Structure 1
Amino acid sequence: MSNSGAALYLADLDTTCRFLRLPQFFSTCMSFSLVADMGIHRGYVGNWFMSIWCFCCAVTLIVLTVELRRFPSEFPFFWYLSNTYACYTALFCLSASIIYSLTYVQFLPYGPHRDRAIAVTAFSCIASVFYAMEVVKMWERCKIYKTSCYVLTVPGLLKVLETFMAGIIFAFISNTSLYLHQPALEWCVAVYSICFIPAALAILLNLEQWEYRLPGPFPLFQLVLSLLSILLYISALVLWLLYQFNKEFGGHPQRSSDEDCKDELAYDMCAWDQRLAVAILTAANLLVYVTELGYWACQVSVETKALPRVS
């Protein structure tokens, strides 16, 4: 970011604080408070997402305080961290709204607890909208003030999606009983970790354009990395589906065939539900990597054509 661009950017932060930070804080605070007040009726899913809304609420308050006290000028990377946080939080609140309603709200009996859970979902959706609005406004500012932010570019957003979905997968496979009994499933967990690390590093490398310190061209490096990630994710998807849902490999093709799901409350995600969620997220993240491969292939092709020809 240039000095003039940074000055204009920081001068415009008050508007963001006034029109976006406060609704973000209020919405996440309401979601957290309503779930916390449900007591024992919130279930495992409610506890999980309550921690997410609590984290978003706390961090948003910290960001708001920093911006109102004009501290961003003392922290050169604050603008980058703020944009990255907004991208991730918009995805977290949106996914929390969807999963919470599908696995919890619809199974609650009609009454005050169901009404409260519906209100929680509504506030979470509102929060995701305000965080998404912040991402859009940041992107517009980057164009107006001629500044740059990696997470607001196409490859940056793809990296955010890759790391976000990998993070959700890690949350589901925190139940080690899903994979410790089978080496093939342990390989799947290793794939998720192996692919997550370089994706997260790519975001960090672009913090101060550190990608230019790599020994080779950054697009070519990302192209090879995307191809390797695709191959690894294909192997993980095939093995996960075979060993989790194919009866011949010890899997459970139907939810009713899984003993762990028979004694569970309807609004709690049993082992079979978690297996299915990991399979869906693996397939979705594979599509993101394929999209990224296409993007970097185009970039490498353009750079190759721009090279001077030797007669």
Structure 2
Amino acid sequence: MVTLDVKTLTVPVGIVRILEVIFTCITFSLVASVGHTTVSFWTWCMFTWCFCFCVTFLILLLEFTGLHTKLPISWSDFTTAFAMLATLMVLAASVIYPVFFTCSSCGRPIGATVTSILAFILYAVEVGLTRAKPGEISGFLSTVPGLLKVLEAFVACIIFICLGNNKFNLPGLQWCIAVYSICFIFAFLIIIFTICRLLALFPAPFDKVLTCCNVLAVLMYMTAVVIWPFYSLHNFPRPSHCPNFCFWDNLVVISFMTCFNLVAYIVDTFYSIRLVFFVSRT
């Protein structure tokens, strides 16, 4: 039986989600009214705003009707992970769209950029509202290490997008791609296992498995931070007639994202070691 819960729409998190739905809807409506293009960046931005709008609206609907309690998943982990993912996706769209598709006299694209930035702020606020507070019992993805796992997976996706369909035959670059893939798969599995409440299937204590994998990821990313820029930028110099954003710029973005993910894994490892060797003992 469906029971309507109006309180879910009046609490701070509910109000923030309603505003997210409004601003993402306004954003993709403004962008669609300007016209359609086949540029991949435009497609990515439109997908981001439409995806975030649909999932946020679905979350509101499920909580309003109480149907979320009947789903065989960890609802708090799912909503927090999505809020973190939406924050990162909308942030990327808020940067990409104005860089490539706005001008000083373009009213609707500028308006779409403003509403997109507002949507990003709202999703960041939601992450702050749903994140686990010190001493609070909650799911793994509501904690800092859980949010970092979403961040690590998202950055890896950006790296894969920049790789595109290009073939890299150098062994050093192939090793880096293997590093990105292995670490992404682990982070993605952690997210899925947590949301689906399958962490009990791990053959060893989850916190120790997490710590070992994070340490291994740090070591692997440390090699990629050195190897990728050395082999890619050295063997693929920037073309003399390179447009505003070309293949060589993708290599630079990958180098930057590799460094960014290394920092994320180092912070993640710090939290994991603290959880295993300090918090668990106390």
- The bucket for the TM-score relative to the shorter chain is 0.7 to 0.9
Instruction: Give 1:12 deviation, angstroms.
Output: 4.7
Amino acid aligned to 1:129: I
Amino acid aligned to 2:206: F
Return the match for 1:176 from 165, 170, 174. Answer: 165
- Determine the structure 2 residue equivalent to 1:13: 8
SS of 2:131's partner is helix
SS of 1:37's partner is helix
SS of 1:162's partner is helix
- Determine the structure 1 residue equivalent to 2:110: 118
- Determine the structure 1 residue equivalent to 2:96: 99
Determine the C-alpha separation between the residues in 2 that align with 1:20 and 1:34: 21
- Determine the structure 1 residue equivalent to 2:239: 258
- TM-aligned CA distance change 1:14 to 1:286, over 3 Å: same
- Determine the structure 1 residue equivalent to 2:206: 218
Instruction: Give 1:118 deviation, angstroms.
Output: 2.1
Long gaps (5+) in structure 1 = 1-9, 307-311
Determine the C-alpha separation between the residues in 2 that align with 1:80 and 1:201: 14
Amino acid aligned to 1:89: A
Q: TM-score, normalised by structure 2?
A: 0.85
Q: Which is worse superposed, 204-213 or 62-71? A: 204-213
CA deviations 1:243-269 (Å, max 9, x no partner) are 2212xxx222xxxx325x63x3x4xx3
Q: Which is worse superposed, 64-73 or 191-200? A: 64-73
Amino acid aligned to 1:110: S
Say if 1:28 and 1:127, in contact at 8 Å, map to a contact too. yes
Return the match for 2:181 from 193, 201, 213. Answer: 193
Q: How does 1:41-120 map to 2 (within 5 A)?
A: 43-77=39-73, 78-101=75-98, 103-105=99-101, 108-112=102-106, 115-120=107-112
Return the match for 2:130 from 131, 138, 150. Answer: 138
- Determine the structure 2 residue equivalent to 1:276: 252
- TM-aligned CA distance change 1:40 to 1:299, over 3 Å: closer
For the pair shown, the structure with the greater C-alpha radius of gyration is 1
Determine the C-alpha separation between the residues in 2 that align with 1:199 and 1:25: 28
Amino acid aligned to 2:269: L
Amino acid aligned to 1:288: A
- Determine the structure 2 residue equivalent to 1:7: none
Say if 1:97 and 1:124, in contact at 8 Å, map to a contact too. yes
Percent identity reads 32
Say if 2:84 and 2:151, in contact at 8 Å, map to a contact too. no
Instruction: Give 1:239 deviation, angstroms.
Output: 2.1
Long gaps (5+) in structure 2 = none
Determine the C-alpha separation between the residues in 2 that align with 1:11 and 1:137: 19
Say if 2:179 and 2:221, in contact at 8 Å, map to a contact too. yes
Determine the C-alpha separation between the residues in 2 that align with 1:109 and 1:210: 49
- TM-aligned CA distance change 1:292 to 1:30, over 3 Å: same
Q: How does 1:225-264 map to 2 (within 5 A)?
A: 225-246=213-234, 250-252=235-237, 257-258=238-239, 262=242, 264=243
Say if 2:14 and 2:60, in contact at 8 Å, map to a contact too. no
**1:290 is the counterpart of 2:266:** yes
SS of 1:104's partner is helix
SS of 2:203's partner is coil
Q: How many residues were matched structurally? A: 276
**1:202 is the counterpart of 2:178:** no
Q: Which runs of 4+ in 1 moved over 6 A?
A: none
